[in-house]
A and B are shown apart, each in its own frame.
Chain A
Amino acid sequence: MSTVARVAGPGVAAENPQRLRARRARKRQNLRAALLFLSPWILGFLVFTAWPVIYSAYLSFTDYDVINDPTFVGLENYQRMMEDPKVRLSLWNTFVYTVLHVPLYTIFSLGLALLLNQAGRASGFFRTAFFLPKMTPPVAVGVLLLLLFNGQDGLINEVLGWFGIDGPNWTTDQNWIKPGLVLMSLWAVGSSVIILLAALRNVPAELYDSARVDGASFWQQTRRITVPMISGAIFFVVIVNTIASFQIFTEAYTAFFGSGNTTYSNDAALFYVIYLFQQGFEALNMGYASALAWLLFVIILIFTAIQLAVSRRYVYYEGEGR
């Protein structure tokens, strides 16, 4: 019988019923243990993520002022969104910020990572130094922006003045508010630098040796070896920062709508999530704010899908066999 079973191979039907029972019992036990250990996260996910997401979808079809019961209004909020000029303005501001921020942030991160990669033993110190600003609370960064970029006596304009450049009013001139915010965002470049540095360290040294033998310059090595080899990490930095850019809130809100400016604001700093927050928590239009949130979700989804599609052509993953 046992011989037959062995000949039959791994077929379940041929297995001893007792061993089968025992195996299933073990599986059940493992599943229970896994679920038990995962349950805090699962519960947290259901209550604090899944449920709010589902509920906000429902709220987007209602008129809801946070206090009274929601009233179903069908597609009214979505229709209102199409006609609301501030939605267009805030989307445009957010798009411009993203277009300026993502490439500059990525190039700056990559540049610093390349420098750090050459730093040898001092690399540890610089890694920490570059990462430290990332630990600054975003609210503090917003306040810092107002100080550093003050058009009259800010540090940035003072430095520009050394080179004979008369700096603009970064925090009050609507043409310079977004560029100022983009420059300030480079303050927190540390985390991306660390990710790119880790990728750089994984590029096989033999590739550079071969290139050097063939007479490739540093620039040629960077363009032909480094960038393609770390394209996966670059893509990660790009996609994460694109999503973060679409959700820019704290620094801009603190600097241009928060305690520092309770009445003064500038349309140039009205980003999409700020407008969403104003509708939800200041005007108490939570139904409309929920619809705005879902529009942002769809926009981010589309941009991410496009980036993923483009990445198939340009991003190289080791072991992918391409």
Chain B
Amino acid sequence: MTVTHRAQDGPVPPLGRTTGRRRRRLLLTSVVALSTALVAACAQGSGGGDAAEDVSFGSDTELSGNLSVMGFGAGDEIAQVRMEAAQKALGDGVDVSLIEGDLDIQAFLSAVAADDPPELISANRDQIGTFASRGAIIPLDDCLDAEGVDTSVFQEAALAQVTFNDQVYGIPEFNQVQLTQANGDLLAAAGLTIEDVNGSSWERIAAANQALAKSEGGKVSVIGYDSKLPEFLPLWAKANGADLLSQDGRTAQLDDPAVVEALEFAVGIYDAQGGFPAVKAFRDSADFFGENNQFATSTLGAMPMEQWYINVVNDVSPDAPVVYDSFRGRDGEPLAFSSGSAWAIPKGSANPQAACTFAATMVATDSWMAAAQARADIRAEEGKPFTMSPTANTEADEQIRAMVDLDEPKFGPGLEAMYAGLEKTFTLPANPADAEFKTAWQDGVNRVLNGQQEPAEALAQAQEEAQAALDEAWADWDARG
């Protein structure tokens, strides 16, 4: 006993060697312990835990604490006025902070995984299905009930896009729709009208494209018609009577003959102008958001485009000779692919009640009307016509429409076309593999545009990839119950 004791404390060489060994062992143990602690800590952080959350929403609850909002910026009066209304609804006890810019999915999901998410996010509506299926956001049916929100005021397509497995996971905010935008001078010079390029007749679009396009020695100088691929394939397919995805979000329909035909037509428009590479290179060289945009410089005949471009042209080149009409299906009826943003509450939100009140107030009809009035006042001061992007709130849109001067010769027809499109919108249903599905069909279109495959072959491959992704994601969802 004594010897052992001395051996532990004594300075003699053999004992010193023992001490060194022990020190190394201690060091090794410490490294292992530290690593284990790190593993445990990180494993805890990355674990998702329960997807279901026991959150109670009640409008009579006293609100307090912080409310960090990710993916939303208060850069204009439309945002600022509604934020003031939301802050007022929350009361002085809630401190609102914004993490501005588009929602950074990587940052958001990392925050959820680390159990430290923002209290509220503003996301693209087509991301909601994926977030919901992975348990990153919580259902909002109780929130909407507690805030007394009548969901029937939301545009049907927008609401469908944020509804997953019969539960509402997002509160729709803005809305985007497409309309036909064309250069009136170029059309007139070629003896054409906006009806020739509004989509109701593909034969007339092809003929107009031939008449409007100009190129010399492989250099494009005027794009006749830009069918806006790959992003508008869903629009062209729907115009031809087909959906890319079944209504239940489980079956890809990319190899539907009507989708193939739509792609063949839209790609053919580029082929007739020397091929997509040349047209895209010329399109990329344009000053899209500046005063020398394609309409102002008469280097583009016509294209389907989102309604916000009316505002751009209005701001930077009010004298550009633009004419508008709805984008129309082959049956001649207006048609638009609806997209936009939605509010959602992350799983683990530290202040879901405040988040719910904030989101509900931001999309309330009164808030939209106050914002619209602020915009109208500013435009009146600048001597410009009042224009405003549509919301996903049909009640607000109806009232805002009454404020717009639809008889204004320049932009009135554009706004009229926008409202006509809003009444005939469609979306792709929420699904748990949105990103993979989108990648599959866009890659398919790109392979055709880049000359690697024919439309039927490309869409057959896309169908296979998309369906595999959907099957896997739905299987995961079904397994989670």
Residues of A within 8 A of B (CB): 12-13, 17, 20-21, 24, 46-47, 51, 54-55, 64-70, 146, 150-154, 166, 169, 171-174, 260, 262-268, 278, 281-284
Contacts and interface: CB of A to CB of B under 8 A. Distances in A.
Interface residues of B, number: 53
Nearest to B280: A172
A169 B277 contact: yes
A55 B105 CA distance: 21
B135 A265 contact: no
A46 B35 CA distance: 8
B47 A263 contact: no
B284 A67 contact: no
Contacts of A166: 217-218
A146 B280 CA distance: 11
B11 A67 contact: no
A171 B284 contact: yes
Contact of A151 (B110, B113, B281, B447): B281
A66 B280 contact: no
Contact of B285 (A12, A153, A281): A153
A264 B136 CA distance: 28
30 contacts: A20-B11, A20-B13, A51-B38, A64-B46, A65-B134, A65-B476, A66-B134, A67-B135, A68-B47, A68-B134, A68-B480, A69-B46, A150-B281, A150-B285, A151-B281, A152-B219, A152-B281, A152-B285, A172-B277, A263-B231, A264-B230, A264-B449, A266-B450, A278-B439, A281-B106, A282-B435, A283-B469, A284-B109, A284-B130, A284-B134
A298 B449 CA distance: 35
A235 B285 CA distance: 40
Contact of A283 (B113, B435, B442, B480): B435
A112 to B, nearest CB: 30
| Top-3 shortest CB links A-B | A68-B48, A172-B277, A151-B281
Contacts, number: 115
A289 to B, nearest CB: 12
A150 B130 contact: no
Contacts of A278: 439
Interface string B255-295: 00000000000000000000011101110110000000000
A157 to B, nearest CB: 9
Given A46-B34, A174-B452, A12 B13 contact: yes
B300 to A, nearest CB: 14
Interface in B205-236: 217-220, 230-231
Given A12-B13, A169-B277, A267-B447, A152 B51 contact: no
B1 interface: no
Given A152-B219, A172-B281, A68 B51 contact: yes
Contacts of A265: 442-443, 446
Contacts of A266: 446, 450
B93 interface: no
Contacts of B105: 281-282
A54 B42 CA distance: 12
B395 interface: no
Contact of B134 (A67, A262, A282): A67
Contacts of B217: 166
Nearest to B215: A152
A131 to B, nearest CB: 30
Given A65-B134, A67-B136, A283-B436, A17 B281 contact: no
A146 B439 contact: no
Nearest to B23: A28
B78 interface: no
Given A68-B135, A69-B48, A267 B452 contact: yes
A28 to B, nearest CB: 9
B390 to A, nearest CB: 21
Given A55-B42, A69-B49, 19 more contacts: A13-B13, A17-B11, A65-B134, A66-B109, A66-B110, A67-B48, A68-B480, A150-B281, A152-B282, A152-B284, A154-B285, A173-B277, A263-B231, A264-B449, A267-B450, A268-B450, A281-B106, A284-B130, A284-B134
A69 B284 contact: no
B42 A51 contact: yes
A87 to B, nearest CB: 14
Interface in B108-131: 109-110, 112-113, 130
A166 B218 CA distance: 9
Contacts of B112: 66-67
